[in-house]
Structure 1
Amino acid sequence: MLTDEDRAVLDFAGRGWPSPGEKERAVRERLGMSPVRYYQYLNALLDDPEALRYAPVTVNRLRRVRQANRDRTR
């Protein structure tokens, strides 16, 4: 079962940001966590079936991005 924080992170991840600096600032202000912690948290959520049910478009998009990054570094 997803927590309120899980849903907040997924909702946040589904938004677009004009610049990385603005996104990092918003992570700290809105989610109360460091950008590094946000990305660790989000990455773990991408493997959670509940997250996929809650935000399928966001989770599938981010899974594709993650896989493309992994493929690029091989």
Structure 2
Amino acid sequence: MAGDESGAGAGPAGGLGRRERAILALERRGFTGPGAKERAIREQLGLSPVRYYQLLNALLDDTRALAHDPVTVNRLRRIRDARRAER
């Protein structure tokens, strides 16, 4: 499907596309050591870390992401909100 390739289109029944689900799955993992997460972003998703974080930030505001993985999305929203409050 073209929507799955770009990640912009909806998956089955209006859900998340493959790329969006992969981003959330990567965020559920724990990473040890410096650079491990960035390496996984490049190798598994084929994205630069900057683009990954842009997509992740947009995904945190997507209600489909919240429905798909509420624990991860709410945890990341809390972290994002705390960082914004520090500024």
Which bracket does the TM-score occupy, shorter chain normalised?
A: over 0.9
Shift of 1:72: 0.3
Shift of 1:14: 1.1
Q: Runs of at least 4 residues of structure 1 off by over 3 A?
A: none
1:7 aligned partner: 21
Task: Pick 1 or 2: higher relative contact order, CA cutoff 8 A, min separation 6.
Answer: 1
Give the root-mean-square deviation of aligned CA atoms.
Answer: 0.8
Max radius of gyration: which structure? 2
| Aligned with 1:33 (options 47, 65, 83) | 47
Task: Tell me the distance in 2 between the aligned counterparts of 1:68 and 1:20.
Answer: 22
| Aligned with 2:38 (options 24, 31, 41) | 24
Task: Tell me the distance in 1 between the aligned counterparts of 2:78 and 2:28.
Answer: 14
Task: Tell me the distance in 1 between the aligned counterparts of 2:27 and 2:61.
Answer: 15
1:23-59 superposed Cα distances (whole Å, 9 cap, x missing partner):
1011000010000011000000000000001011100
Structure 1 length as normaliser, TM-score? 0.94
Which structure 2 residues correspond to residues 50-65 of structure 1 after superposition, within 5 A? 50-65=64-79
Give aligned pairs, total: 73
The code of the aligned residue for 2:17 comes to: T
Shift of 1:60: 0.2
2:57 aligned partner: 43
Gaps of 5+ in 1: none
